Structure 1
Amino acid sequence: MDKSREIEVVEMTFDNNGDYERREYPFMVIGRLIPEFQNGKWSYHEELYEQHYESKYPEHENLDEYINSDYSISFLYYSGGKCLGHIRLSTSDETKFASIDRLIVLESSRGKGIGTALLNKAKEWALQKGMKGFTLETQDVNLLACRFYLKNGFEIGAVDTMLYSNSKYKDENAIFFYAKF
């Protein structure tokens, strides 16, 4: 098989964890998702910005907790031997939701199905662990991520307007998404 075209999603181990570059990956802010809760249901609309800007969030240096654990895992997406993305998850026996702690696809590789492939692999693992769905949090200004999760069957479960109030991201709101299996 031609190694340059080979695609695989594999569990992160101590041997391959160096393949994932630990750095702050930027994303383009093109607007924000504005959720609204009425009559017991969430709806939303988008506010698009005239001026786009780049943002990024700090990356955790130590990913050892996601290796050889019964409660958390990370998967790496490879194409042609190069790591183009990863997903990190942890489980909650109490809620039966697997938390997507981070999902990153290299900017040059976005829009090519890598995020969805990582979600699919994560779902296999979560189901094996007895989880009933996913949960995650992202910022309202990460509109492209919000669109991705909504397109992949997630729904808004909550909004927190205070989570970032004491940080440099004080003008952002946290949106909690859920997907039930």
Structure 2
Amino acid sequence: MNNTSIFSIVKMTMENKHDYKLNEKPFMVIGRLVPKLVSGKWSFEEELYQTSYQSKYQEHEDLDDYIDSDDNIAFLCYMDQECLGHIRLGAVDETKFVSIDRLIVEETARGKGIGTLLMSKAKEWSLQKGMKGFTLETQDTNLLACRFYIKNGFEIGAVDTLLYSNSKYADENAVFLYQKFN
């Protein structure tokens, strides 16, 4: 049986928005992405840590911003009426990129293709809006997320070494990833 027959992806509405629990979602930090800019072209290496640890980022967005909007949308992924993940998107007309504001899959459901299914639904919506690609920001220490995005056709567009400098994440760098649609 394939994943598309197991999972269903639906648009978030006022009626189903509480199916997704807004709480901190832990992820494993196994290392960091080390981007390098050489002659105007980005490449990267991975620095793996000897000891992994768990981290999490606080959820703080208002989900209502993604409901009944022309430029924002969220999709939820269900299996057996349980919400296992979501993706939140914002279209930017000036750049023709859709910002992936958040992509989260419940820890117990990771590795089952849910993130890829959510990305596919996001791309379908983006193309319908005439957008030309995705953009997102992630942390260099969220190596598993970086691997997921790069595996799904994203490339490094920029790195910001100061974005988190005034926060408890001061030792992390922001990595801006892009995917241009063909």
Q: Normalised by the size of structure 2, how large is the TM-score?
A: 0.95
For 1:170 and 1:114, locate their aligned partners in 2 and report how far apart those are by CA, in whole Å: 31
Aligned to 2:141: 141
| Structure 1: gaps spanning 5 or more residues | none
Identity of aligned residues (%): 69
Aligned to 1:180: 180
**Count, aligned residues:** 177
For 1:12 and 1:165, locate their aligned partners in 2 and report how far apart those are by CA, in whole Å: 34
Whether the 8 Å contact between 1:133 and 1:178 is mirrored in structure 2 is yes
Whether the 8 Å contact between 1:20 and 1:76 is mirrored in structure 2 is yes
1:46-65 equivalences under 5 Å are 46-60=46-60, 62-65=62-65
1:23-102 equivalences under 5 Å are 23-60=23-60, 62-102=62-102
Indicate the SS of the match to 2:93: coil
Whether the 8 Å contact between 1:76 and 1:86 is mirrored in structure 2 is yes
1:116-131 equivalences under 5 Å are 116-131=116-131
- 1:44-93 alpha-carbon deviations (Å, 9 max, x no partner): 00000011111111102521000000010000000111100000000101
1:15-30 equivalences under 5 Å are 15-30=15-30
Whether the 8 Å contact between 1:84 and 1:105 is mirrored in structure 2 is yes
For 1:169 and 1:83, locate their aligned partners in 2 and report how far apart those are by CA, in whole Å: 29
Q: What RMSD, in angstroms, separates the aligned Cα atoms of the two structures?
A: 0.9
Q: Normalised by the size of structure 1, how large is the TM-score?
A: 0.96
How far did 1:6 drift?
A: 4.5
Whether the 8 Å contact between 1:6 and 1:81 is mirrored in structure 2 is no
Instruction: Tell me which amino acid in the other structure corresponds to 1:157.
Output: G
